[in-house]
Amino acid sequence: MTEYVIIGDGISGSSAAETLREEDPDGNITVITDEGEPLYNRILIKEHAKGKLPEAPISIHDEQWYEDRDIDLSLSTHVTTVDVDGKVVVTHEGEQIPYDKLLVATGGTPTQLPVANSDADGVRHFWTFEDARRIREAAENAEQAAIVGAGLLGIDFAAVCGAQGVSGKYLMRGDRWWRYALSEDGAEIMHEGMREKGVEPVFDSGVDRFEVDDDGHVTAAIDPNGDRYECDWAGVAIGLTFNTEYLHGTGIEEENGILVDEYMQTNLEDIYAAGDITRFHDVLLGERAQNGSWGSAKEQGRVAAVNMAADDEAEVFEWVSSYSITHFDFPFLSFGHPTLGDDHAERKYSDTEWRRIAFKDGKVVGGVLIGDLSPQSTLKQLMRDGRVVADQKEVLLQPEIDLDDLASPPQEQ
């Protein structure tokens, strides 16, 4: 009987456990998480912090779910080391759990700002349900907040401010939000959405240090220009530090994440990785890539489990990820790898509609749609097909993309 051990009960670990049980009805499956609760919907915790959603619908699995599938779940258990020669996982309580096949699905932890007082009371990071509960409490009792981190997670803090009636200052480096994927035209739509929610974007800013009161609670963020922004709490979302400390010394290949191939295999025998933590070989892109999104993490967990159970390279991970933002009156969707590629096309259609498509070697590799999401399935399909279309930007920028207008791909000889 095969012993499967999964470290992490986020969506990638949990989806792997579910698939393993389907693929190997007799195997022993152990899931270990250092959180105190089983899988919940990380995407929805922001709605809880906004005060719009109670706790119950955010939970996905209760402990019974694991029992019903004969999966051994260890809550509040931190893995401290892995002995790859002895094939044993060691927990903070010194328990030794043997494995035949191991899945690393431990994601990341929000990176702390390397500035004075960044660990002060009232400086919040956003990753767990517990974080969301505390952010909600802080926001309900606050008048003003400072936010730093001009990316997909930072904007959730802005939305919390908007929903909770907190006046927010969103301190950004550079001249716009998510400057790696959006031009001024696209970003301005997002800035206007923030302003309508009572959150003011502040450009060429950031945080140089936080000020605290006598109790050690944050009172202000000081930006590099010396400008002072008073705040009752601050939200920091400047990126993730991947949870790999327990793997140090094992020889696992890391490069800002765990390196895996398209089968989710690491360089170490019988050790796989899935979810945010991976830098995987993206078969559509033809190079290594990273996806910090729910759907991708779920699919990576499933594919890893299929290959673990088969003890073979049975299935390749091939996926176009998407990430949507629903805080504003207009929808927003990023798909694939909008910050990569060697060419792009973009157009503004109205005050709330904008599109950007990224290409690599003439093929679609990602994009951002604001306002009108209707082209998403066509663009994702073109990405999956790997069709060379960068020479036909005008067709792809039409409000409605008509594939019949695209020149046919050259016939294979």
Ligand X SMILES: Cc1cc2nc3c(=O)[nH]c(=O)nc-3n(C[C@H](O)[C@H](O)[C@H](O)COP(=O)(O)OP(=O)(O)OC[C@H]3O[C@@H](n4cnc5c(N)ncnc54)[C@H](O)[C@@H]3O)c2cc1C
Strand duo 209-212 + 199-202: pairing: unpaired
Handedness of CA 372, 377, 379, 380 (dihedral sign): positive
Closest CB to ligand X among 105 and 218? 105
Nearest to 99 by CA among 117, 109, 84, 114: 84
Q: Find the shortest distance in angstroms from Cβ 387 to ligand X.
A: 25
**Region binding ligand X by CB under 6 A among candidate stretches 3-11, 115-123, 249-257, 405-413:** 3-11
Applying the rule CB under 6 A, the residues between 86 and 125 that interact with ligand X are: 105-107
Q: Show the tokens assigned to 154.
A: 């930072």
Residue of 4, 5, 6, 8 interacting with ligand X (CB under 6 A): 8
Closest CB to ligand X among 7 and 252? 7
Strand, helix or coil at 358?
strand
Binding of ligand X at residue 284 (CB under 6 A)?
no
CB-CB contact of 136 with 159 (8 Å): no
Q: How many residues bind ligand X (CB under 6 A)?
A: 34
Q: Find the shortest distance in angstroms from Cβ 400 to ligand X.
A: 26
As a whole number of angstroms, the distance between CA 323 and CA 331 comes to: 11
Applying the rule CB under 6 A, the residues between 347 and 376 that interact with ligand X are: none
Question: Residue 128 corresponds to which amino acid?
Answer: T
Binding of ligand X at residue 35 (CB under 6 A)?
yes
Residue of 47, 156, 232, 282 interacting with ligand X (CB under 6 A): 156
Binding of ligand X at residue 153 (CB under 6 A)?
yes
Residue that the structure tokens 């999104």 belong to: 293
Binding of ligand X at residue 319 (CB under 6 A)?
no
Q: Find the shortest distance in angstroms from Cβ 45 to ligand X.
A: 5
Nearest to 110 by CA among 98, 118, 101, 99: 118
Contacts of 137 (CB under 8 A, 6+ apart): none
As a whole number of angstroms, the distance between CA 395 and CA 147 comes to: 39
**Region binding ligand X by CB under 6 A among candidate stretches 32-40, 138-146, 307-315, 361-369:** 32-40
Residue of 17, 20, 73, 79 interacting with ligand X (CB under 6 A): 79
Binding of ligand X at residue 51 (CB under 6 A)?
no
**Region binding ligand X by CB under 6 A among candidate stretches 6-14, 188-196, 204-212, 398-406:** 6-14
Euclidean distance between the first and the last CA atom of the chain, given in angstroms as a whole number: 50
Strand, helix or coil at 24?
coil
Q: Show the tokens assigned to 337.
A: 């790898």
Q: How far is CA 136 from the centre of its chain?
A: 21
Nearest to 290 by CA among 383, 366, 400: 366
Q: Find the shortest distance in angstroms from Cβ 370 to ligand X.
A: 15
Binding of ligand X at residue 323 (CB under 6 A)?
yes
Q: Find the shortest distance in angstroms from Cβ 105 to ligand X.
A: 5
Binding site for ligand X (CB under 6 A): 7-13, 32-35, 42-43, 45-46, 78-79, 105-107, 126-127, 153, 156, 243, 246, 275-276, 292-295, 297, 323
